[in-house]
Copies of this chain bind each other. A is one copy, B any other.
Amino acid sequence: MKKSIFYHAGCPVCVSAEHDILSLIGKDQVEVVHLGEERSRIPEAEKAGVKSVPALLTPNGHALHINFGASMADVKG
What residues make up the interface of A, taking CB atoms closer than 8 Å to B? 4, 16-17, 20-21, 23-25, 29, 58, 60, 62, 64-68
Contacts and interface: CB of A to CB of B under 8 A. Distances in A.
Contacts of A21: 64
B66 A64 contact: yes
A58 B4 CA distance: 18
Contact of A65 (B25, B58, B66): B66
A1 to B, nearest CB: 9
Contacts of A60: 20
20 contacts: A4-B24, A16-B62, A17-B64, A20-B58, A20-B60, A20-B62, A20-B64, A21-B64, A23-B58, A24-B24, A24-B25, A24-B29, A24-B58, A25-B25, A64-B66, A64-B67, A65-B66, A65-B67, A65-B68, A66-B66
